[in-house]
Amino acid sequence: MICRTEEQFKRVIYNYMSEPLDESVWESLQLYIDEANRWIKNTFLGNSLYAKYEEFSEEVKGLCDVVVGCKAFYEAIPSLDLVLTSHGFGIVQTPQVAPASPVRVNRLRDQIQRTLFNTMDELLTFFLNEEELRVLFAQGAPFEKLTDSLFLTGSELQLYAGMEGATRKELYTQKALIAEGELMIQRWISVVYFNELLQKVRDNKVEVKDREVLLKAKQLLGFYITGQSVAFRRLAELLVNSIEAQIDGYPTYKGSAEYQLKNKSRYENKKEDSTYFFG
C-alpha cells in the first residue's frame, strides 16, 4: 500500500499544513488513502507496477506517496474543518475558531491538485524511460490510454501550445481538440506511421530518424490547438517533403494508403483499357 503510514502522509502535506494531525484526524483519513490507492492502481500504475511499489527506489516511492497523499488529501478537504493560521492551514479543533473561507480552501485544493498532476507526469516520464519499470507499466490496463497521444504530459501543452500552467487536467479537458489535431496530422504522415510513432514511444524505441518527425508532429499539434492554420500547413508540407526525400528510410509511410494516393501515376487513356474514351 502506498503512503500507508502517518509519517509518509505528513511528509506529503507538510508544505500545506501548519498544524500537526491528531490521531482522530489521521484515522478519518484512512478511507481516503485507501481510495487513493485503488485510484492510482486502476487509473495510472496498473496491477503489475503497483505490486512492485516496495521494490522501487526511495525517490520513486516518494513520488508515488506524493500522488496518493495529494489525491487523498484533495478528496478529504471538503469534509475537514480547515482554519487559516499565520503559518498556513490547520484543522479546527474547537468550535470557537472559524473555518477558512471557501475561496481559500478551493485555492488550497487547486494547489494540491497541481502537485498531484505534475508528479504523475514526472512518474509517467520516468516509467517510460526505465526499461524494467516500462515493461511492468505496459502490462497495466491504463497504459495504452495514458500513451495514446502525442502529448503525454501537461508540460507538453505548455511547451507546444503555449498553455501556461497546463497540467494533466488540461490534457483531459482539451482531449477532443487534441484528437482533432492528431487526425489532421495523420492525413499528412499517414495513419499507420502516426500509430507506429506512438508505439515506438510506448516501447522506448524511437529511432533517430523518427525523433525529428515526432518533434514536428508535436509542433503541428500545437499549431492546430492554437488555430494557426497557415503555420500548420507550411510545417506539414515541409515535414512530408523531408520524409519523401528519404522515403526508403520510412517504409511504413511508403507503404501507406496516404502515400500511394499522393504519389500515384496520372491516369493514362489507353485504347486497350475498358475505360478508354475518344479525344
| List of residues 6+ apart from 65 with CB closer than 8 A | 2, 3, 8, 9, 11, 12
Q: Among 65-79, 94-108, 126-140, where is mean pLDDT lowest?
A: 94-108
pLDDT at residue 271, rounded to an integer: 54
Separation CA 68–CA 61 (nearest Å): 11
Strands (E), the chain: 82-85, 88-91
Residue 68 has pLDDT above 80, yes or no: yes
Summarised one tens digit per residue, pLDDT across range 172-186 is 999 999 999 999 999
Residue 1 has pLDDT above 90, yes or no: yes
pTM comes to 0.85
Separation CA 2–CA 46 (nearest Å): 13
Residue 276 has pLDDT above 50, yes or no: no
**Mean of all residue pLDDT scores within the chain:** 87
- Summarize the confidence of residues 253-278 as an average pLDDT: 66
Strands (E), 184-279: none
Taking a C-beta distance cutoff of 8 angstroms, is the pair 216, 239 a contact?
A: yes
What residues does 85 pair with on adjacent strands?
88
C-alpha cell at 226: 492554437
Summarised one tens digit per residue, pLDDT across range 76-92 is 888 776 544 444 444 55
- Summarize the confidence of residues 20-44 as an average pLDDT: 87
| List of residues 6+ apart from 201 with CB closer than 8 A | 128, 147, 152, 214
| List of residues 6+ apart from 237 with CB closer than 8 A | none
